[in-house]
Amino acid sequence: MLFAQVVTESYFVDLSAYPKWLVIAVGTLAAALIIWIMIKLLKWTLWLLFFAVLVGGLLWAGYVLINNQTW
């Protein structure tokens, strides 16, 4: 009987008391906020990758120049 109680209990949030337009508007704003945060994180990641490639390439070129290496 204990297992039957666990299955019937639900942790779903009931939004039927709110107007549909409000639920849709808040959901849209929440989704837009999450997408905006993801865009910012992607932008920072791309800048970090750009500078890592730039610094890495310059350090590699300096190493080759100092050690007089050829292909």
Q: Which of 13, 29, 12 is nearest to 21 (CA)?
A: 29
Mean pLDDT, the chain, integer: 88
pLDDT computed for residue 47 by the predictor? 96
Q: How far is Cα 71 from Cα 53, in angstroms, rounded to an integer?
A: 21
The domain spans of the chain are 20-56
Q: How far is Cα 19 from Cα 25, in angstroms, rounded to an integer?
A: 10
Classify 19 as helix, strand or coil.
coil
Write the pLDDT tens digit of every residue in 18-43: 999 999 999 999 999 999 999 999 99
